[in-house]
A = this chain, B = another copy of it.
Amino acid sequence: MKYELYYWPEIQGRGEYVRLALEEAGAAYVDVARGPRGSGAMMKMMEAHKGTPPFAPPFLKAGKLVIGQTANILLYLGGRHGLAPKTEAGKLWVHQLQLTITDLVLEIHDTHHPLGPSLYYEDQKPAARKRTVEFWSERVPKYLGYFEQLLTDNGGAYVTGRRLTYVDLSLFQIVAGLRYAFPRRMKAFEADIPGLVGLHDRIAGRPNIKAYLASERRIPFNEQGIFRRYRELDG
């Protein structure tokens, strides 16, 4: 079975957490909207599922299943591709961590869109500056400090212990994204999270991820995604 991933073709966005899991697993998939059928195919799929339509991309077609919400897709893939424990307790724990990353991703998005997702960044710059200051003084230390502590307490290899899970792949993306969006702030902060920086580097060096990052399948960071580099927000 070949998976079909449906997500906006121009950005990493929330789809990237799914792409990283599919790539690490070496799973066969098509990034549909990036192919010849384009975003139109994605829109058609959203309308085709009367009674069970996804609210928004990303969603994954797996045989007859159509699964929406990033963390939900990872919950599904984790069990099938060895990217999560097999036990119920282990599955719930890894999913719980992914949901905490989901919260963090939304807070990252809100640094440039504090007044809501429907307004342009240009129309909310002063609010974005305030939110970003608060994000870096309060929220980044809280979230990344939590994951750093987990790494330390669980042996230092991966966040939940000796085996890689999809949460580690997502944390790679968080570190890479914060480096892109806030190069100055992140540089100053990295001394506080040596474990996560090391995790980022180890993930980047894994054969499947390394090949993916070097390929055209990896969309470059840009100012339409979650992680946006706006000099005026970088302190």
Contact = CB atoms under 8 A, between A and B. Distances in A.
Interface string A121-142: 0001001001100110111000
B115 A96 contact: no
Contacts of A100: 55, 68-69
Interface in A68-123: 68-69, 71-72, 75-76, 89, 92-93, 95-96, 99-100, 102-103, 106-107, 110, 114-119
21 contacts: A51-B150, A55-B146, A65-B92, A67-B92, A68-B100, A69-B100, A72-B92, A72-B99, A110-B110, A110-B114, A110-B116, A114-B115, A114-B116, A115-B134, A116-B134, A116-B135, A116-B138, A117-B138, A119-B134, A124-B130, A127-B130
A102 B115 CA distance: 18
Given A51-B150, A64-B89, 15 more contacts: A54-B96, A55-B96, A55-B100, A55-B146, A65-B89, A65-B92, A67-B96, A68-B100, A99-B102, A110-B114, A115-B131, A115-B134, A119-B134, A127-B127, A127-B130
A19 to B, nearest CB: 19
Interface residues of A, number: 48
